[in-house]
Structure 1
């Protein structure tokens, strides 16, 4: 006697279906064949950034044991790598190397000591920005550079250093204007900022 899979709609033998529900919380008997379950798991793992893979019929989350039982070898390896990565990222201060070597480590210095030197490849990662270290530029300056509108053409010739110089100059002008605003007021005649230092 055959049964039709609700996914592929193919008639299958009873042995082509799971003998028990996929999760302990599924309240239905399995109506998806083992081949379709295997494919559903592989597709979910391939396009998912989370290790939470659902039953293809009711959206209950599959256990680690269920994934190991029903997934193919490739999907099982990807799933295990994903679980390990998520576990590592749960540790406070953990950071992946931005050089792309695939290594990571716990950094105790936090944002107070933002340069993380990879113990595997020696590359430097910025702990605050989770990117390659921005050599010669503090994290605050790097934020300013990244927020500054970039030139529309290469001929504008603005390097990060020139952009940084402009930002520093703009900040100096802004700071000067704030001080002038605190210690002076506008002349009612010419509207220039003046400071009263004596007289009536």
Structure 2
């Protein structure tokens, strides 16, 4: 009799009360065979892993996107708040006139309608000044043109140093500087660890 009153989750394979199962999205074509806990864990893993808010239904073969209202209906309040914040940030990131405040203690941002015509942006929240054009803290005592010239000089000096004192890893391309020892080199990037001869 207990078996008739329980259902097996398609993901965790645990037998649970049918009330703990749900339709993930209104567009899903599969039956209610995934428990709420598994869907919540799936959403949490996607948010924690890549900070991705484009999350598909975890049912194998189902490609339906879990919409904003679906997430709100399924997950706990704390997880929904994280999803909502990441969704907002991703939306703001693609708005061309939006800039985040450069004060690391602030976390605010705003749209700067004047664009490059008036590049000094003053944060409405903390008052920190930043450059709209270069998306950096405001470069005091320099126009945007002077800042750009200095940035290019610095970039050229860095490239010159890298060409003269480093070699790219043949596998991943990361610049490696030889600091003595033999010519046997090992790339310090953990996922690469390619070994090669400096000469």
TM-score, normalised with respect to structure 2:
0.65
Does the Cα contact within 8 Å between 1:116 and 1:125 map onto a contact in 2?
Answer: yes
Matched, 1:147 2:141: no
In structure 1, list runs of 5 or more residues that go unmatched.
Answer: 153-200
Please report how far the alpha carbon of residue 142 of structure 1 lies from its aligned counterpart in structure 2 after TM superposition: 4.3
- The RMSD of aligned alpha carbons is 2.3
Matched, 1:39 2:47: no
Q: 3-state DSSP class of the match of 2:157?
A: coil
What is the aligned partner in structure 1 of residue 193 from structure 2? Answer: none
Q: Which has the higher strand share?
A: 2
Residues 24-35 of structure 1 correspond to what in structure 2 (within 5 A)? Answer: 24-35=26-37
Q: Which has the higher helix share?
A: 1
In structure 2, list runs of 5 or more residues that go unmatched.
Answer: 162-199
What is the aligned partner in structure 2 of residue 123 from structure 1? Answer: 128
Does the Cα contact within 8 Å between 1:5 and 1:12 map onto a contact in 2?
Answer: yes
1:158-189 CA-to-partner distances (Å, cap 9, x unmatched) read xxxxxxxxxxxxxxxxxxxxxxxxxxxxxxxx
Residues 99-118 of structure 1 correspond to what in structure 2 (within 5 A)? Answer: 99-100=103-104, 101-118=106-123
TM-score, normalised with respect to structure 1:
0.65
| CA gap 1:73/1:142 in 2 versus in 1, 3 angstroms | farther
Equivalent-residue separation in structure 2 for 1:99 and 1:12 (angstroms):
49
What is the aligned partner in structure 2 of residue 65 from structure 1? Answer: 69
Q: Give the paired residue count.
A: 150
Please report how far the alpha carbon of residue 89 of structure 1 lies from its aligned counterpart in structure 2 after TM superposition: 4.2
Please report how far the alpha carbon of residue 69 of structure 1 lies from its aligned counterpart in structure 2 after TM superposition: 0.8
1:116-143 CA-to-partner distances (Å, cap 9, x unmatched) read 1111111122212322223334342243
Of 4, 7, 22, the residue aligned with 1:3 is 7
